[in-house]
Amino acid sequence: MSNLTPRDIAALEERRQAECTVTAALVSEPIGGGFMSVSGVGSWTNQACGLGLAGPVEAAEIDRLIEFYASRGIEPKIEVSAFADETLLAGLAARGFVLREFEAVLARPLAPGEAFAPAQGWPPGITFVRVDPQDAAQVEAFIEASTCGFRPEGSPVPEELAAASRRIVVQPRTESFLALDGEVAVGGGSLDVGEGVGALLGTSVRAAYRGRGIQQALIALRLRAAQARGCAVVCIHSRPGIPTERNAARMGFALVYHKVALVRPGPGLVPSP
């Protein structure tokens, strides 16, 4: 993939993810080459990421991570790349961290002048707009539509999720796109840009509009935006085997590496999404 090895991509992407999480969180601290972040009980930002890619992680750092979350009544959670130093895994295992879930990181290079369009063509009757961070109503419509796949259908957006999404949307590093059927927001997704790498994140399409190529169109739009921002490669994070993987493959993405989410359960500690 281009001139970047999977390890190169992991180093860029894990740093980007850590920085993006910092922008969405209320409190963050550097640790072990990455960051640990928190926004309060129930927020997806309650996680550490990017650790162990620059070398060994000392045991005292892992103890500091545990205290950072446990002191706030939150279950410690860390995402670990397949390329993380073995000292990180050993230290986490010794302190009772257990596997919660697997995650696949897919990527594709971006060539100058390359054209991007959905493999199935642009969905008829659907228009796409870039979200104006200064338009509060449009931002709220985007948050509601782009998170619909991460909560029960018809349920309100949890405030913890909405607040973190607002903090991301207004960042200069982020571009968000909204799919509209007339005036109705039916889907959306964001592009986050780090050093040399972009990532497509926070994508959902309403159940009644799935299967019409809207997600592929949102991918194509964000690939264009990433190309314009000078990204050499773009990533997508996905749970293995879900439709996101199939849509990404149709748009030229391929598996580059795996990662795992590890947690340390404890009495009175609240898990995070």
pLDDT, one tens digit per residue, over 90-146 is 999 999 999 999 999 999 999 888 999 998 899 999 999 999 999 999 999 999 999
* pLDDT confidence band for 73 (50 / 70 / 90): very high
pLDDT 10s digits, 196-222: 999 999 899 999 999 999 999 999 999
243 and 205 Cβ atoms separated by less than 8 Å? no
DSSP-assigned beta bridge partners for residue 81:
259
| pLDDT value at 50 more than 70 | yes
| pLDDT value at 180 more than 60 | yes
pLDDT at position 2 is 60
pLDDT at position 196 is 93
Handedness of CA 271, 26, 91, 34 (dihedral sign): positive
| % of the chain surpassing 90 pLDDT | 88
pTM recorded for the entire structure:
0.93
pLDDT at position 258 is 96
At 170, give phi and psi (nearest 5°): -85, -5
Q: Which of 92, 32, 94, 86 is nearest to 61 (CA)?
A: 32
Q: Residue 82 CA to chain centroid, in angstroms? A: 17
- Bridge-based pairing state of the strands 98-109 and 254-263: antiparallel
Q: Which of 199, 201, 207, 101 is nearest to 151 (CA)?
A: 207
Q: Which domains does the chain have, with CATH numbers?
A: 6-104+258-263 (3.40.630.30), 111-231 (3.40.630.30)
Q: Which of 53, 48, 84, 42 is nearest to 64 (CA)?
A: 48
At 73, give phi and psi (nearest 5°): 75, 20
Weakest-pLDDT range from 156-165, 174-183, 254-263: 156-165
Q: Which of 123, 96, 138, 136 is nearest to 262 (CA)?
A: 96
Q: 152: which residues sit within 8 A by CB, 6+ positions away?
A: none
Instruction: Record the tokens describing residue 209, joined without a space.
Output: 């509009």
* pLDDT confidence band for 75 (50 / 70 / 90): very high
